[in-house]
């Protein structure tokens, strides 16, 4: 489940390899992945140099010299795997043991071929991920990106006061607020649970029940876990691999996510799993006291 740190890791891996490189061909193996007019591929993408690789929320963006941009969303099971010429990427074998199989495989939806003989595979078991093509000037008005909230490191827009203003009048669980992409960009199920544990706030608490101090703690926790995730090269427990097909290792450092039945790293209590905002949710019953009336 690629969230912000995973996409950021991919972008950092691809940036030095793709900027300045030309796309020579696009091979589409799954039509639904390509959410733009196929007729535009040859006219607008082919032989167009990639001028910039960047990220907004969970979306990776390639700006092309043609004045168009490619947008990629990996949703839950998407993978971006770069394969350098001669099967080597940056001096390292392209595929790690954890990924193993040769490419393309039965989850490969699109293949990009570059003028320097490198390739990039867009793999996606569940076919929810997409690739769009937009004029670069319209990237920010994309149907998804136009509604997305501030980045976690945007110190001008993302502040404790801002988070407080988004939560104070809401009856919905605080976890739903964190998952709401219009509030803050890039948090998914993993980092929502991690941030709430770090802030010692139960996921099912009504957003409006949080004190200013708790909201400030949550604000700090969001920034901490996202930055930690980026430092560790993204989470990986099933489908996430970075641009070289290597697994990230944040999950080794997870505090509560997918650790039900194990002990809380803070107090040693047994971590529980429940369902909040329609998602599997992990928490420590001692560090994160449930609200009154909460049924696990």
Partner DNA sequence: CACTTGACCTGTCCGC
Partner DNA sequence: TGCGGACAGGTCAAGT
Distance CA 28, CA 112 (A): 9
- Between 45 and 254, whose beta carbon lies closer to DNA? 254
* Nearest approach, Cβ of residue 152 and DNA (Å): 14
* Nearest approach, Cβ of residue 277 and DNA (Å): 6
| Binds DNA by CB under 7 A, chosen from 1, 61, 264, 271 | 1
Residue 2 among the catalytic residues: yes
Residue with tokens 């591929």: 41
- Among 104, 265, 279, 290, the active-site one is 279
- Between 51 and 181, whose beta carbon lies closer to DNA? 181
Q: Is 190 exposed, middle or buried (0-12, 13-18, 19+ CB in 10 A)?
A: buried
| Binds DNA by CB under 7 A, chosen from 18, 190, 201, 287 | 190
The DSSP string of 103-157 is: SS-TTEEEEEEETTS-EEEEEETTS--EEEEEEGGGGGGSTTGGG----TT-TTT
Give the total of residues touching DNA (CB under 7 A): 34
| Binds DNA by CB under 7 A, chosen from 18, 53, 57, 89 | 57
Residue 279 among the catalytic residues: yes
Q: Phi first, then psi: give them for residue 86, nearest 5 degrees.
A: 65, 20
* Nearest approach, Cβ of residue 76 and DNA (Å): 4
In the shown chain, the binding pattern of residues 111 to 150 toward DNA, with x for contact by CB under 7 A and - for none, equals --------------xxxx--------------xx--x---
Structure tokens belonging to residue 231: 């430092």
* Nearest approach, Cβ of residue 190 and DNA (Å): 6
- Between 277 and 284, whose beta carbon lies closer to DNA? 277
Residue 31 among the catalytic residues: no
Instruction: Determine if 166 is a binding residue for DNA (CB under 7 A).
Output: no
Residue 146 among the catalytic residues: no
Q: Phi first, then psi: give them for residue 273, nearest 5 degrees.
A: -120, 140
- Among 17, 55, 58, 259, the active-site one is 58
- Between 19 and 260, whose beta carbon lies closer to DNA? 260
In the shown chain, the binding pattern of residues 197 to 236 toward DNA, with x for contact by CB under 7 A and - for none, equals ----------------------------------------
β-strands 78-83, 88-89: how paired?
Answer: unpaired
Within 13 Å, how many C-alpha atoms sit on residue 288's CB side? 32
178: region left, alpha or beta (phi > 0 left; psi from -120 to 50 alpha): alpha
- Among 3, 6, 8, 246, the active-site one is 3
Residue 276 DSSP SS3: strand
Residue 191 DSSP SS3: helix
17 CB neighbour count, 10 Å cutoff: 20
Question: What are the C-alpha distances in Å from 215 to residues 207, 277, 286?
Answer: 9, 19, 19
Q: Between residue 230 and residue 289, which ones bind DNA under the rule CB under 7 A?
A: 273, 275, 277-280
Q: Which residues are near DNA by CB under 7 A? A: 1-3, 32, 57-59, 73, 75-76, 106, 125-128, 143-144, 147, 170-173, 176, 179, 181, 188-190, 273, 275, 277-280
Q: Supply the residues annotated as catalytic.
A: 2-3, 58, 279
């Amino acid at each position: 489940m690629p969230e912000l740190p995973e996409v950021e890791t991919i972008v950092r891996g691809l940036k030095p390899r793709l900027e300045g490189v030309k796309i020579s061909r696009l091979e589409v193996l799954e039509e639904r992945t390509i959410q733009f007019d196929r007729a535009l591929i040859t006219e607008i993408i082919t032989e167009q140099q990639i001028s910039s690789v960047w990220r907004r929320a969970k979306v990776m963006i390639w700006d092309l010299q043609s004045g168009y941009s490619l947008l990629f969303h990996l949703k839950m099971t998407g993978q971006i795997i770069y394969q350098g010429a001669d099967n080597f990427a940056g001096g390292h074998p392209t595929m790690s043991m954890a990924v193993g199989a040769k490419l393309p495989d039965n989850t490969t939806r699109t293949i990009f071929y570059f003028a320097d003989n490198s390739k990039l595979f867009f793999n996606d078991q569940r076919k929810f991920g997409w690739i769009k093509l937009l004029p670069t000037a319209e990237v920010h008005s994309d149907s998804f990106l136009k509604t997305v909230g501030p980045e976690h490191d945007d110190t001008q827009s993302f502040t404790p006061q801002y988070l407080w203003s988004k939560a104070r009048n809401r009856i919905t669980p605080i976890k739903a607020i964190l998952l709401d992409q219009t509030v803050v960009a890039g948090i998914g199920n993993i980092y929502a649970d991690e941030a709430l544990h770090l802030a010692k706030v139960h996921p099912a608490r009504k957003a409006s029940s949080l004190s200013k101090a708790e909201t400030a703690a949550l604000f700090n926790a969001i920034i901490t876990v996202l930055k930690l995730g980026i430092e560790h090269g993204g989470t990986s427990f099933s489908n996430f691999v970075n641009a070289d097909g290597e697994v990230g290792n944040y999950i080794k450092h997870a505090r509560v996510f997918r650790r039900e039945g194990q002990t809380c790293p803070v107090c040693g209590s047994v971590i529980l799993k429940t369902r909040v905002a329609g998602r599997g949710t992990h928490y420590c019953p001692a560090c994160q006291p449930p609200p009154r009336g909460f049924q696990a």
